[in-house]
Amino acid sequence: ARLTSALADNFTLVGPDGTSTSRQPLLDWITAAHNSRQGFKIWIEQFEARFVNGDIALITYQECL
Please write the tens of the pLDDT for every residue from 9-57. 999 999 889 999 999 999 999 999 988 999 888 899 999 999 999 988 9
Torsion, Cα of 59, 54, 11, 33 (10° steps):
50
Q: What is the largest CA-CA distance in the chain?
A: 40
pTM of the model: 0.71
Kindly tell me if the per-residue pLDDT of 1 is higher than 90.
no
